[in-house]
């Protein structure tokens, strides 16, 4: 297995050289007076990434799942009703987490490959006259199926029914790779982590918290200690942390935000859209099908691809790893064995994406798939040629 190869799993993502160096710092004192010089600009630049001016951002030593737990326990009480649709492994795990915290979880079952059903949420909220539903939970980018959901539409549905429930968004695999607008979409809790769009090592949960969510902390009765927003926000306001922060990750985050803001968020999103377009062109050329049911649901950070009838997607990803040293995402949950995933988020270029497509093509050929070597690569190449930044350099086709 060559560790020179990029990974094509949808997190953890490739860590650019610059960020690896940035995390290589000696121990420093998080109670020293200059810690605030690192922390304050970080929290403020994170707000830029969440596209929020009115919310707070907090970071915890945890993975994204810890961010979920923080969002739930700080703002809700056991027995509170929450509304959520299950359409993939990650929305499923939100449901499980809420149930284990004793919430009353109302689940709308949707086929995997579809997104958050704004219309069904609207129906349920309109019928909830006494406002028993305290929160609506949406997985913005369902990493298991490669589906992006329309959060603005969910917000419109909530507003149209005049319902006061809070809106929680899992943006772990979208933030800093695809557009996410906390203020404009009226998101109250936005949960992310360090190892996807931020291109860092795993170990930090990043959570956006609206003023409405802050107000909900007072009555929220779920037990919490390590993840208590009050301790974190209180310590942050004084330039510190309530316990030892992951200082190397914070230095990495500084460099990550610098990279993202230097490239420009909109340019980062455009890069992901262009790379994803090439991957989808390859899928099409192979004659395979995406799990995402329609183009408006296509994720720009991950593509989940059904293998043909009679083939085992686990054998394919094992072949790619074993024979070519390249990791792809396996099918999760009910997609196990039926689909594989190409992660195309974080630190990635068109040229890197082509190498991944070439590698999985070889593995497909080895496994006897009815595809021609080079077919997907060529389709992606055409897409990248047609959408390159310097069309003035275009030669005769
Ligand atoms: C990766 C991911 C998470 C969090 O997973 P962790 O392993 O806890 O970081 C949550 N939701 C989605 C959509 C994800 O892609």
Q: Which residues form the domain of 242?
A: 17-261
What's the rounded Cα separation, in Å, for the pair 1 and 153?
44
Q: Choose the residue to mutate in 170, 191, 332 for probing ligand 1, maximizing ligand atoms within 8 Å of C-beta.
A: 170
Confidence of residue 3 (pLDDT cuts 50, 70, 90): confident
Q: Does residue 209 share a domain with residue 268? A: no
232 or 391: which carries more pLDDT confidence? Answer: 232
Quote the ligand 1 centre to 129 CA distance (angstroms).
33
Q: Does residue 206 share a domain with residue 218? A: yes
Q: What is the pLDDT of residue 392?
A: 57
CB burial readout 120-159, b (16+ within 10 A) else e: ebbebbeebeeeebbbbbbbbbbbbbbbbbbbebbbebbe
| Dihedral over Cα of 15, 46, 263, 277: its sign | positive
Q: Does residue 137 share a domain with residue 24? A: yes
Q: Does residue 296 share a domain with residue 363? A: yes
| Residue 269 token pair | 């999103």
Q: Does residue 234 share a domain with residue 331? A: no
What's the rounded Cα separation, in Å, for the pair 156 and 185?
8
Q: Does residue 128 share a domain with residue 269? A: no
Q: Is 170 in the pocket of ligand 1 (CB under 6 A)?
A: yes
Is residue 210 domain-resident?
Answer: yes
Which of 261, 276, 297 lies at the terminal end of a domain, its last residue?
Answer: 261
Q: Is 12 in the pocket of ligand 1 (CB under 6 A)?
A: no
Q: Does residue 269 share a domain with residue 213? A: no
Torsion of CA 128, 129, 131, 132, to 10 degrees: -50
Q: Does residue 102 share a domain with residue 230? A: yes
Is the pLDDT at 89 greater than 50, yes or no? yes
Q: Is 90 in the pocket of ligand 1 (CB under 6 A)?
A: yes
Is residue 394 domain-resident?
Answer: no
For 265-301, the pLDDT digits (tens) are 999 999 999 999 999 999 999 999 999 999 999 999 9
Q: Residue 202 gets which letter from DSSP?
A: S
- What is the mean predicted confidence (pLDDT) over 40-66? 98
Q: Is 299 in the pocket of ligand 1 (CB under 6 A)?
A: no
Confidence of residue 28 (pLDDT cuts 50, 70, 90): confident
Report the number of distinct structural domains present in the chain.
Answer: 2
Torsion of CA 329, 334, 336, 339, to 10 degrees: -60
Quote the ligand 1 centre to 343 CA distance (angstroms).
13
Quote the ligand 1 centre to 70 CA distance (angstroms).
14
Q: Is 192 in the pocket of ligand 1 (CB under 6 A)?
A: no
Q: Does residue 223 share a domain with residue 339? A: no
pLDDT mean across residues, the chain: 96
Is residue 55 domain-resident?
Answer: yes
Is the pLDDT at 397 greater than 50, yes or no? no
Q: Does residue 300 share a domain with residue 237? A: no
Taking alpha carbons only, the member of 166, 143, 57, 157 closest to residue 93 is 143
Is the pLDDT at 394 greater than 80, yes or no? no
Domain CATH for 165:
3.40.640.10
Is residue 253 domain-resident?
Answer: yes
Is the pLDDT at 1 greater than 90, yes or no? no
- What is the mean predicted confidence (pLDDT) over 127-144? 97
Which of 261, 296, 322 lies at the terminal end of a domain, its last residue?
Answer: 261
For 338-374, the pLDDT digits (tens) are 999 999 999 999 999 999 999 999 999 999 999 999 9
Domain CATH for 332:
3.90.1150.10
Is the pLDDT at 384 greater than 50, yes or no? yes
Is residue 393 domain-resident?
Answer: no
Q: Does residue 251 share a domain with residue 338? A: no
Is residue 397 domain-resident?
Answer: no
Is the pLDDT at 169 greater than 90, yes or no? yes
pTM listed for this prediction: 0.96
């Amino acid at each position: 297995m060559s560790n020179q190869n990029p990974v094509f799993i949808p997190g953890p993502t490739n860590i650019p050289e610059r960020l690896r160096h940035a995390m290589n710092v000696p121990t420093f004192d998080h109670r020293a007076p200059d810690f605030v010089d690192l922390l304050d600009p970080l929290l403020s630049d994170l707000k830029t990434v969440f596209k929020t001016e009115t919310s707070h951002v907090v970071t915890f030593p945890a993975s994204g799942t810890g961010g979920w737990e923080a969002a739930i326990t700080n703002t809700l009480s056991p027995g509170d009703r929450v509304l959520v649709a299950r359409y993939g492994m990650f929305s499923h795990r939100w449901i499980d987490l809420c149930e284990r915290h004793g919430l009353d979880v109302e689940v709308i079952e949707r086929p995997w490959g579809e997104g958050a059903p704004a219309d069904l949420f609207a129906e349920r909220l309109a019928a909830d006259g006494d406002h028993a539903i305290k929160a609506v939970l949406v997985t913005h980018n369902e990493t298991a199926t490669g589906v992006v959901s329309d959060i603005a539409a969910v917000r419109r549905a909530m507003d149209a029914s005049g319902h006061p429930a809070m809106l929680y968004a899992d943006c772990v695999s979208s933030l800093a790779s695809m557009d996410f607008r906390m203020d404009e979409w009226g998101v109250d809790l936005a949960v992310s982590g360090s190892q996807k769009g931020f291109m860092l090592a795993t170990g930090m949960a990043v959570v956006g918290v609206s003023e409405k969510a802050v107000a909900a902390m007072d009555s929220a009765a779920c037990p919490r200690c390590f993840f208590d927003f009050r301790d974190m926000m209180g310590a942050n306001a004084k330039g510190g942390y309530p316990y030892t922060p992951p200082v190397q990750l914070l230095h990495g985050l500084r460099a990550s935000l610098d990279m993202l803001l230097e490239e420009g968020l909109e340019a980062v999103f455009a890069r992901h859209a262009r790379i994803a377009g090439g991957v989808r062109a390859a899928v099409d050329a192979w004659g395979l099908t995406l799990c995402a049911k329609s183009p408006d649901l296509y994720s720009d950070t991950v593509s989940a691809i059904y293998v043909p009838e009679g083939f085992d997607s686990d054998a394919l990803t094992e072949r790619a790893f074993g024979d070519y040293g390249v990791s792809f995402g396996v099918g999760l949950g009910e997609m196990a064995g039926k689909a594989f995933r190409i992660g195309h988020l974080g630190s990635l270029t068109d040229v890197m994406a082509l190498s991944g497509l070439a590698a999985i093509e070889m593995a497909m050929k080895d496994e006897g798939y009815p595809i021609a070597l080079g077919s997907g690569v060529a389709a992606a190449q055409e897409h990248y040629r047609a959408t390159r930044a310097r069309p003035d350099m275009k030669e005769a086709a």
